[in-house]
Amino acid sequence: GVPVWQVSTEMRTCLDDARYWRENGTFDPLEAAARFHHKLVWIHPFAYGNGRRVRIMADTCIAGTDPDTFLDWSGGGKLAAEDDHRARCIAALRSADEQGFGPLVEFVMEIAN
């Protein structure tokens, strides 16, 4: 996460980026949601419950552009459980940390209905 004194600035940048992507069609809606999700995870804006809150925010991002799409983050199980689905999600987020967004976009496309 970012230092606490930078959270509000980074959140503003994240929201501005998401708005720009939507208004300019920079990314496919699912890729935009994946990138938005990653940036929020990186910022780590909440003291507790970052995972679920960030997933809700990413869901809201996709709902704004494609209200018929639902992201099943749990993959039919529990994302909090230590399983292959969770491991893939974490690995995809770590790849995005290094600007490799392909695995995260692929993961989000797989969980979209």
| pLDDT for 89 beyond 80 | yes
pTM of the model: 0.91
Q: What is the pLDDT of residue 66?
A: 86
Q: Alpha-carbon distance 44 to 4, whole Å?
A: 9
| pLDDT for 77 beyond 80 | no
- Return all residues near 112 (Cβ < 8 A) that are at least 6 apart: 30, 62, 69, 70, 71, 72
Mean pLDDT, rounded, for 66-73: 89
Sign of the CA dihedral running 59, 90, 77, 84: positive
CATH number of 4-111: 1.10.3290.10
What are 43's two structure tokens? 């910022």
Question: When comparing pLDDT for 47 and 104, which is higher?
Answer: 104
pLDDT band with cut points at 50, 70 and 90 for residue 21: very high
